A and B are shown apart, each in its own frame.
Chain A
Amino acid sequence: MTKVTMTVNGKSASGDVEGRTLLVEFLRENLGLTGTHVGCDTSQCGACVVHVDGEAVKACTMFAVEAQGAEVATIEGQAAPDGTLNTIQQAFQDHHGLQCGFCTPGMVMSAAALLKDNPKPTEAEIRHYLDGNICRCTGYHNIVKAIMAASGQDVSRIAAE
């Protein structure tokens, strides 16, 4: 067992892990942060996307020990301390960008990483960026719409309620 320490959502967190423990397992099992999900075992689905030192990372593809000393952000740290949703989260609710909710944490974290680098992405850029995030419920329409809305673009002409 190795002791690993990192900052998660602004707070110091540490625990004993095996060399093979994945970052997502450390977050879910050691820290009880179960908002980060595991939807596959081939690094395809993106339900486990978190930010490590500001970059979007699939937490199923990184060992916990690799995050030693890193700043990690998860879905649990996205809303304000009083529970107010952030702009992306609010846009997902406003535009019905989620159904079962399982892919949603990864979608929100990926969207945040996209908008940091590209504050006004086109529809095509969003769809391309989400290549590593699979949703089985929404058909992506309202996810793309929500991300465009979160970036301040007018989405009123895109069909549907």
Chain B
Amino acid sequence: MPKDSGIGASSKRREDIRFLTGSGNYTDDINIRGQAHVYFLRSDVAHGTLKGIDTSAAEAMDGVVRIFTGADFEAVGGMPCGWQVTDRHGQPMLEPKHPILAHGKVRHVGEPIAAVVADTLEQARDAAEALVVDIDELPAVIDMKEAVRDGATKVHDDIASNLCYDWGFVEENKDAVNKAFEEAAHVTTLELVNNRLVANPMEPRVAVGDYARGTDEHTLYTTSQNPHVIRLLMGAFVLGIPEHKLRVVAPDVGGGFGTKIFHYQEEAFCTFAAKACNRAVKWTSSRSEAFLSDAHGRDHVTKIELALDKDNNFAALRTDTYANMGAYLSTFAPSVPTWLHGTLMAGNYKTPLIYVNVKAVFTNTVPVDAYRGAGRPEATYQLERLVDKAAHELGVDPIALRRQNFITEFPYATPVAVEYDTGDYHATMDKLEEMADIAGFAARRRESEAKGKLRGFGVNCYIEACGIAPSNLVGQLGARAGLYESATVRVNATGGLVVMTGSHSHGQGHETSFAQVVAEMIGIDENMVEIVHGDTARGPMGMGTYGSRSIAVGGSAMVRATEKIIAKAKKIASHLLEASESDIELKDGAFSVAGTDKSVAWGDVTLAAYVPHNYPLDDIEPGLEETAFYDPSNFTYPSGAYACEVELDPETGHVSIERFSAADDFGNIINPMIVTGQVHGGLAQGIGQALLENCVYDAEGQLLSASYMDYAMPRASDLPFYDVDHSCQTPCTHNPLGVKGCGEAGAIGSPPAVVNAVLDAMRSGGKNVSHIDMPVTPSRVWAAMNG
């Protein structure tokens, strides 16, 4: 019987009321009295020497407040990178300077080169057209393998080459891996591209900088997944503003998907300019600007090989990946193809030997960083395409080959440095086989064939690492941040609670699900708990929301703080009940003395804490407010098995998704409705990557897919109803809620199933194609079918 409140209940979302009535408070809805507007003039060439900018005509135009160029920021720090990767020779990655406004050179189309601040946006835009920019265009490097050839044009003159790092993992395994390949009974090899994507949250980025000269206080309103991180990065490393004089507010944020993690130039600019102009400065990205300035995602080119023994056991795996960094290092870019990718290459399988090589490359393109899944979709795609290919080469059933090699004993230490705490991969595969109705597939295929269509079935498994991460571990791996989370629980006199969390909700429904947890722990109504996030002035230090970490890390911090509240409340209750503290039990919002009918209500205890007339003042302080920081001891490891069924029109190459089944193990679930919605959204992004989305540059570095006219966002008619299940639950062993995280699974687990299904459909049509790159567009399918 489903619960109707607390942990495990599909409580309806409280945040929906404001979103459904047009009363949300997104950053672009914020206007400060007297604010000016900024328009950024952006480079229209991919690479060039910036010889000069003549601002004189523009400065004389109506409404212009001030025009800024790179020279205005010489005394200010550049954009910081939050993760330093060490290469396979023990050397630190190459880390070029990243200016707020281009200085000396432009390095990608869309790089901001001047900023016009004016009374209105129209005036700023008009004045920007009067700027005279003198750029000597240079050859652009776009292709990664070209970029690392000897003699290639360098993106940056201040570093040795375009090779940011050459990473080997685990370097000590390399010889043993190579030896295993020499001894293998069978080797399957696959070369593939993980297509470059644009995250495209529906709300474009916005920044509003405000400054109070009287108190020297800065405020930045911004579309961020982690306002505290922006405060630290921008305050300490860019502008030199101490945190107590800098408030960062990320109010309602209209989707993030990773691209709103990073600290961007426009945020630093608006904060800086508000002081320089002594008035608030607002920037609202257009969608066209978003394509040219939001960090992109994926963009890996990989060769992967699997060695199998004579019994089809996986013996060794080796990969060789080129990962695009773009023109500059975005905040967490170096970590994505390394620690968020190489560590996942074991997947669900007991492959004893693994070696991963990643070459990160600078090109004259927009910076590339984390996008939903961040490294884990790339790992899963390679591995699950490769296993499917191996099964077909060996003539064995793809599901049977997977099952044969599944990890079955936990905890399991992989050869790529992580330890899976729990999982049951056979259970999710069993569930998937039931959901996907494999028995009925032959009949469905006949129906499709009767219409002149081909039908294909594809599966994949996935494992991901969420809840990033133990701070001491990531510190060793190069993170320049801790990755704990914090929560403050403030109980008011009349019993209601406010929880201030460092996690940030931009669609995930924390205001509802976090309240369910605290309400369950105390035994009170969910509506007595308010969740506050997104404002550095209202909560303790927080690391924010990404990597499916909110409930696993932020939720755990909240549990720890609530446990402290309960412990103190029990002391107060024991005083009020004149009983030993060890005999006090909390149940259904009341404290009672074990074995008696004596009890005191939650509200009486909280009132006593603030009106301490009858109170143990000698032992404890009045008030009821506690803070906890939670630093996880390991990642969490959600896993699952997905199946896709496609129909392919051999006349046109068009592929439609007919069925999609997803069996996930997320450990314990707080709100099943929200979890299901998270999987739906992830699936749409994964299917979008597989069938539709592609970020394309031409050889000169012009972005060809720079609007919704050219970048194929998934629409309602591209997608089916999904069949989603999360009844297989192996709770996480090392966090207090037993939760694993669910935000990225859909995007990680779906692309290989789609491509495997398309290839299966082609085979059924007599065309044995071993691989097709994403997005699997009609033209690519048609070419493969008719090639």
A interface residues, Cβ below 8 angstroms from B: 18, 20, 28, 33-42, 44-45, 47, 74-76, 78-79, 83, 85, 89, 92-94, 96, 98-105, 108, 123-124, 126-128, 130-131, 133-145, 158-161
B620 lies within 8 A of chain A by Cβ = no
Determine the chain B residues whose CB is within 8 A of the CB of A35 once the complex forms. Answer: 21-24
Interface size class of B (residues with CB under 8 A): 35 or more
- Known contacts A45-B202, A127-B716, A130-B715: A141-B674 contact under CB 8 Å: no
Bound together, the chains give a CA A95 to CA B676 distance in angstroms of: 11
Contact between A160 and B676 (Cβ–Cβ < 8 Å)? yes
Contact between B202 and A18 (Cβ–Cβ < 8 Å)? no
Contact between B22 and A136 (Cβ–Cβ < 8 Å)? no
- Known contacts A76-B23, A99-B509, A100-B253: A42-B681 contact under CB 8 Å: no
Bound together, the chains give a CA A101 to CA B512 distance in angstroms of: 14
Contact between B709 and A44 (Cβ–Cβ < 8 Å)? yes
Bound together, the chains give a CA A102 to CA B506 distance in angstroms of: 10
Contact between A130 and B716 (Cβ–Cβ < 8 Å)? yes
Determine the chain A residues whose CB is within 8 A of the CB of B13 once the complex forms. Answer: 93, 96
Contact between A127 and B717 (Cβ–Cβ < 8 Å)? yes
Distance from A76 Cβ to chain B, minimum over Cβ atoms (Å): 4
Determine the chain B residues whose CB is within 8 A of the CB of A127 once the complex forms. Answer: 715-717, 719
B768 lies within 8 A of chain A by Cβ = no
If A42-B707, A130-B717 are given as contacts, then 11 extra A-B residue pairs at C-beta distance below 8 Å, sorted by A number, are A76-B21, A76-B22, A93-B20, A104-B19, A128-B716, A134-B708, A137-B507, A139-B719, A139-B746, A142-B680, A160-B676
Contact between B287 and A89 (Cβ–Cβ < 8 Å)? no
Bound together, the chains give a CA A99 to CA B508 distance in angstroms of: 6
Give residues of chain B (204-246) contacting chain A, Cβ–Cβ below 8 Å. Answer: 204
B400 lies within 8 A of chain A by Cβ = no
Contact mask for chain B residues 153-196; partner A; CB cutoff 8 A; 1 contact, 0 none? 00000000000000000000000000000000000000000000
Give residues of chain B (633-681) contacting chain A, Cβ–Cβ below 8 Å. Answer: 672-674, 676-677, 680-681
Determine the chain A residues whose CB is within 8 A of the CB of B20 once the complex forms. Answer: 75, 78-79, 85, 89, 92-93, 98, 101, 104, 108
A-B contact count (CB 8 A): 197
Contact between B21 and A161 (Cβ–Cβ < 8 Å)? no
Contact between A140 and B23 (Cβ–Cβ < 8 Å)? no
Contact between B708 and A102 (Cβ–Cβ < 8 Å)? no
Determine the chain B residues whose CB is within 8 A of the CB of A39 once the complex forms. Answer: 202-204, 254, 287
Determine the chain B residues whose CB is within 8 A of the CB of A41 once the complex forms. Answer: 286-288, 707
Closest A residue, CB atoms, query B678? A99
Partner among A98, A100, A158, A161 whose Cβ is within 8 Å of the Cβ of B673: A161
B interface residues, Cβ below 8 angstroms from A: 10, 12-13, 15-24, 26, 28-29, 122, 200-204, 252-255, 257, 286-288, 506-509, 672-674, 676-677, 680-685, 707-709, 713-717, 719, 721-724, 746
Determine the chain A residues whose CB is within 8 A of the CB of B252 once the complex forms. Answer: 100-101
Determine the chain B residues whose CB is within 8 A of the CB of A126 once the complex forms. Answer: 716
Distance from B647 Cβ to chain A, minimum over Cβ atoms (Å): 14
3 tightest A-B CB contacts, nearest first: A35-B22, A101-B19, A102-B254
Closest A residue, CB atoms, query B676? A160
Bound together, the chains give a CA A41 to CA B674 distance in angstroms of: 31
16 contacts between A and B (CB under 8 A): A38-B28, A41-B286, A75-B20, A76-B21, A79-B20, A83-B21, A89-B20, A96-B12, A96-B676, A100-B253, A101-B15, A101-B252, A135-B716, A137-B255, A139-B682, A140-B715
Bound together, the chains give a CA A74 to CA B204 distance in angstroms of: 21
Bound together, the chains give a CA A84 to CA B449 distance in angstroms of: 50
Distance from A71 Cβ to chain B, minimum over Cβ atoms (Å): 17
Distance from A36 Cβ to chain B, minimum over Cβ atoms (Å): 7
Distance from B128 Cβ to chain A, minimum over Cβ atoms (Å): 16
Instruction: Determine which residue in B20, B253, B709 has the highest number of CB atoms from chain A within 10 A of its CB, and name it.
Output: B20
Bound together, the chains give a CA A135 to CA B203 distance in angstroms of: 10
Contact between B26 and A42 (Cβ–Cβ < 8 Å)? no
Contact between B716 and A143 (Cβ–Cβ < 8 Å)? yes
Distance from B587 Cβ to chain A, minimum over Cβ atoms (Å): 28
Partner among A33, A83, A85, A135 whose Cβ is within 8 Å of the Cβ of B202: A135
Determine the chain B residues whose CB is within 8 A of the CB of A105 once the complex forms. Answer: 22
Bound together, the chains give a CA A57 to CA B708 distance in angstroms of: 18
Partner among A18, A138, A159 whose Cβ is within 8 Å of the Cβ of B677: A138
Distance from B612 Cβ to chain A, minimum over Cβ atoms (Å): 39
Bound together, the chains give a CA A79 to CA B202 distance in angstroms of: 24
Determine the chain B residues whose CB is within 8 A of the CB of A78 once the complex forms. Answer: 20-22
Contact between B202 and A136 (Cβ–Cβ < 8 Å)? yes
Distance from B242 Cβ to chain A, minimum over Cβ atoms (Å): 32
Determine the chain B residues whose CB is within 8 A of the CB of A135 once the complex forms. Answer: 202, 716
- Known contacts A18-B122, A34-B29: A99-B17 contact under CB 8 Å: no
Determine the chain A residues whose CB is within 8 A of the CB of B682 once the complex forms. Answer: 139
Instruction: Determine which residue in B12, B255, B674 has the highest number of CB atoms from chain A within 10 A of its CB, and name it.
Output: B255
Determine the chain B residues whose CB is within 8 A of the CB of A83 once the complex forms. Answer: 21
Partner among B26, B253, B508, B677 whose Cβ is within 8 Å of the Cβ of A142: B677
